[in-house]
Structure 1
């Protein structure tokens, strides 16, 4: 079969319901002489096998499509096209809680003004050009001469608004995800015609232009997108995406590009387009169907119940005509050689094929360890699961494929050691859903975090605690407070003290001295008083720490009585006079402490000589 029999699929729309297929086609797009149904089948019946090979279908599949899908038309020159209603404008499509996705999970905050310079894989041989700034479509096989306007959702095509720039960035991110495992550059930057045109069999640098625009001059009225089948390796033959909004626009681009790569529609029973799963979560649908608003859209091999084709999408991408190559595996598959990852740091990974797994190793102390496998917020392709192993001694810990989510998350109580987490794609049984993990390929991130017990507040006393206090004066001492992982409440750092266990207790705030150091002050006391005290430290989120912790056993310090340092003043009248001699004699005769004038802790006649010396020296 010659390339002149290339097929047109005006696809978009991807029918919302089988009943919609009975609508009259738009005459601005449907060429004269087009027929559908049995008439279309009769037109090619003699060459059905050849057509089936050309379009990657079994003969019975192609016959069924022509017979049952009234949106598919055959032209007199042998080309085939399909007209489908555009995506329903239903509020909430694709869970549109916000027009601004979490770019932290989707690849980083992209400046708005870069919206026409986005490239997923610069230098790749194959290109998917998302043309958003308008295009003059002529002499390219479509048979028209139309200046298509730029992408427009604001009502004005003069300039791109900030919201339109963000929409284009978001559309690009989602289309990139659909082709993430292939060595292809998805770009909004004009790559030039040479990058989109295959000049001959030896030319390996080619691609497709997908014009994101509005119906113009009757072309595209009432449809969501249109593409020639098997046109990816032709000249600069564009496909068109008219659907907009994150629930339909990016998927339409990928869908139409899929047609240019040779894919037909994925139907469901009597419906030409699979509308997406009608039960379960995450909701699912094949990209080549019409799963508008579904959470998980994947390439398919028709392994769901009542599929209309068994096309192996990912294999067709890699055939000789399309020439897509799988990128190199980014992470080891084996348990003994996983990629080391840091805790609490998301690490990206790509499941390149259905059989690919990615292994990551990490080391943790004792604690509760949470493992998260996260998809992009919008347009995810991976339904993730993981297995967890301990490295030594080797043992299987557990696995997780979180129900009702395309992500996977679980927490394990782990002992200290090195572990390996192995990420894989999976599927979750749901109504009209897949029966294998065929389409769970693409990008994800893995993050491992451990919940460690908080580091405690530690109170210390660099110069020690006072145990003896001078009579009649206050006493300061240094307190060091290491907050650990807590934040100190600086208004609630204080000392409580009491004299001789009296009440009430008195509070004195600690005075900052720089760093973790503070000054605590004990009150002035009288001779033989005992001062009891403890230190109170409060944090903004944690408990109050009291040192010592037992309120019945506080710190204590004793007030030392003042002593008479003037030894010659034996009678203690504050003056040194001859009467002190009489007092010394009395102390000598009665062996009183005042007798000891030389400090040898004995009362002997030598103390008389010492008293004379002290007398002559006088008192301060």
Structure 2
């Protein structure tokens, strides 16, 4: 157990921390920062990370992608073998209770006034602009909702409705039908959202599979499954280089206490740190398709950054959270405009994460998704693929996704991605080609008599296809593709394809989000695996379309070894007291050397001069050419093969921190 660390900043320190990549997302910041940090965190930082992809560029042979050699590094917490949240937790909440969404608890005008942003704050209009807003001339006597809000706005109603991209009648109807919608004293719109229903007994069944445990009953069982080192809990990042920020503030501010599960609010226990990390993981997945840095570290120099802070803090009232609509804008470390209240979310990982993603959705322009009879839709289906919209109620279903209202009786069919784009959240750049011609080579390692293949990526838009190539010998081939370890949004569909584009096998299991495909490959050659997001059944009943099926995935597979392949000797990493972060990267596109008919000798150039490793420089190189000849120790080398055959070429490097990295590829000489 780690020593408890004070929640109050106690020391200033200039720090630079290492990078870990999980499904394409860096876990620790890759830049030097100077800010207030807690005393233990400042003493547990090792290494400096440079934010660049570790890539080896080759002049003739296939380009290589470096992957850290140690096989002991794990991406998911130890002991977690399934991504189904229901299998990780033990004490469960009801999946679909009829009264799970009640009327928001009334709050005093005094408490509402404490929520109000400064008078000069201007939310974006529906097109993402702040020019010509009507709010400077509006001064209402109190916070309001429903008919009272309509009356208080008076002649300003049309201008406010237009600002938010609504007709006057549509705005009136929203104020009357959605009791979570409020106006502050400047006429700006905010949502005060529900928490979990306090009247429901924890674990009570209500007509469906129960999903989520309360932290109070699972802290002891999850204490050993910290996803990342506990001292890095407040240094988590997805993309530090992005100009967009979503800051998850668990440490409080001058007016609001820090997140706490126990009776010692001045410190963060191990259980609290573990829960914070897992909340972060779930929110990361909801925003994996976007160019944004989801972080638990307070930005120090946000100049030029655009984003939002959500403060996760215990409060006395019974709301789950609140957010100003369209408030995503120039990032400020000052007053937060978005809150989640964990004490009204069972202090539990999944409800807190669902609240965070939901409230951030409001800041990005998204309204509630309900039906013609309820303000929040609670979802449909059951089990691992039980589904709900993020902007509805995500507490009681395992799979939550962005939605455009394709379910029955939906009252909001806005295109979530288009709305968020107008508010400034851009899509993540496509990381893999979507055709055979643009396929990326999977990382290949020969071991235990098999060709072991791996890759990872992100499905970024509906219909995105990621295509991967691999060389296999005749025999059985099997691939498993899994989504994010926690809160996965991606339902995976796979296809195995031959070099002529013929689909040999397909896989998409309705009951699970991941997929496995197996096939007996008839002959040695180059084959392809495609990954895409899938739907399930009918969105009008118990299923969903592929619209929200976006997110991270990882591929692992085995095939028969191609003829002539030898198994390279594994490289043993040096002992270290600091666990080195894995450097999982996307292999670049292959360039196959041209076949040479009846060749007695063929010279192949291998070039690793463009290779990089995270947070250090490369000090030595070792090439094994797979033909029994001596290793080469320079970055650029020309090797001559004297016999036809398929050779596994491996590259091992040692960096300035003493870490070993390596990769392998296959070269065919004819």
Determine whether 1:186 maps to 2:287.
Answer: no
Contact in 1 for aligned 2:472/2:560 (Cα 8 Å): no
**1:114 match:** 232
Shift of 1:347: 1.5
1:389 pairs with 2:497: yes
- Within the candidate set 199, 202, 205, 2:305 is matched to 205
Deviations 1:291-326 (A, max 9, x none): 21322111112222222212222122221xx32222
After superposition, the Cα gap between the structure-2 partners of 1:443 and 1:54, relative to the gap in structure 1 and judged at 3 Å, is: farther
Distance 1:313 1:61, change over 3 A: farther
**1:152 aligned residue (257, 260, 263):** 260
Contact 1:368 1:411 in 2 (8 A): yes
Secondary structure of the residue aligned to 1:252 is helix
Contact 2:250/2:313 (<8 A) preserved: yes
Are the counterparts in 2 of residues 56 and 263 from structure 1 also a CA contact under 8 Å?
A: no
Aligned ranges for residues 8-407 of structure 1 at < 5 Å? 21-22=102-103, 24-27=105-108, 29-31=111-113, 33-41=142-150, 43=152, 50-56=159-165, 61-75=170-184, 77-88=186-197, 90-91=202-203, 93-94=211-212, 109-136=227-254, 147-192=255-300, 194-195=301-302, 204-215=304-315, 218=316, 221-234=317-330, 235=332, 236-238=334-336, 239-243=338-342, 244-279=347-382, 281-319=384-422, 322-341=423-442, 342=444, 343-392=451-500, 394-407=501-514
The question of whether the paired residues in 2 share the 8 Å contact of 1:18 and 1:271 is answered with no
Partner of residue 526, structure 2 = 418
> Which ranges of structure 1 fall in alignment gaps of 5 or more residues?
1-14, 137-146, 198-203, 453-620
Contact 1:101–1:377 (CA under 8 A) maintained in structure 2: no
CA distance change for structure 1 residues 127 and 76 in 2, over 3 Å: closer, same or farther? closer
Whether the 8 Å CA contact 2:407–2:540 is kept in 1: the answer is no
**1:167 positional shift:** 0.8
Secondary structure in structure 2 of the residue aligned to 1:170: helix
Distance of 2:508 and 2:492 partners within structure 1: 6
Secondary structure class of the residue paired with 1:114: helix
SS at match of 1:387: strand
Q: Is the 8 A contact 1:345 1:447 kept in 2?
A: yes
Deviation at residue 361 of structure 1 after TM alignment: 1.1
Contact 2:492 2:532 in 1 (8 A): yes
Tell me how far apart the structure 1 counterparts of residues 547 and 430 of structure 2 sit (CA, whole Å).
17
Which residue number in structure 2 is paired with residue 550 of structure 1? none
Is the contact between residue 281 and residue 403 of structure 1 (CA under 8 Å) also seen in structure 2? no
In the superposition, relative to structure 1, how do residues 191 and 76 fare at CA in structure 2: closer, same or farther (>3 Å)?
A: closer
Give the superposition deviation at 1:109. Answer: 4.4
> Residues 399 and 435 of structure 1: is their aligned pair in 2 closer, same or farther, counting only changes over 3 Å?
same
Offset, 1:327? 2.5
SS of the equivalent of 1:115 reads: helix
- Give 3-state SS (helix, strand or coil) of 1:251's partner: helix
CA distance in 1, matches of 2:218, 2:559: 31
- Tell me, in whole angstroms, the C-alpha distance in 1 between the residues paired with 2:97 and 2:146: 20
Q: Which consecutive residues of structure 2, in runs of 5 or more, have no partner in the other structure?
A: 1-95, 114-140, 204-209, 445-450, 562-670
Deviation at 1:223, TM superposition (A): 0.9
CA distance in 2, matches of 1:111, 1:267: 39
- TM-score normalized with structure 2 length: 0.56
Question: Deviations 1:383-427 (Å, cap 9, x if unpaired)?
Answer: 1112221114x4221322111111122322222332211111111
Check the 8 A contact 1:93/1:247 in 2, yes or no.
Answer: no
SS at match of 2:231: helix
Report SS of the residue matched to 1:448.
Answer: strand
- Contact 1:128-1:185 within 8 A present in 2 as well: yes
Which whole-Å CA distance do the structure 1 matches of 2:224 and 2:406 have between them? 33
Give, in whole Å, the separation in 1 of the partners of 2:452 and 2:223: 18
Output the CA distance in 2 between the equivalents of 1:46 and 1:119: 46
**What SS is found at the alignment partner of 1:152?**
coil
Give the Cα separation in 1 of the matches to 2:487 and 2:263: 26
8 A Cα contact 1:383 1:406, kept in partner? yes
Q: Is the 8 A contact 2:105 2:318 kept in 1?
A: no
Question: Residue 269 of structure 1 contacts residue 307 of structure 1 at CA under 8 Å; is this kept in 2?
Answer: yes
Structure 1 residues 450 and 56: CA distance shift in structure 2, 3 A = farther
> RMSD across aligned C-alpha pairs, in angstroms?
3.2
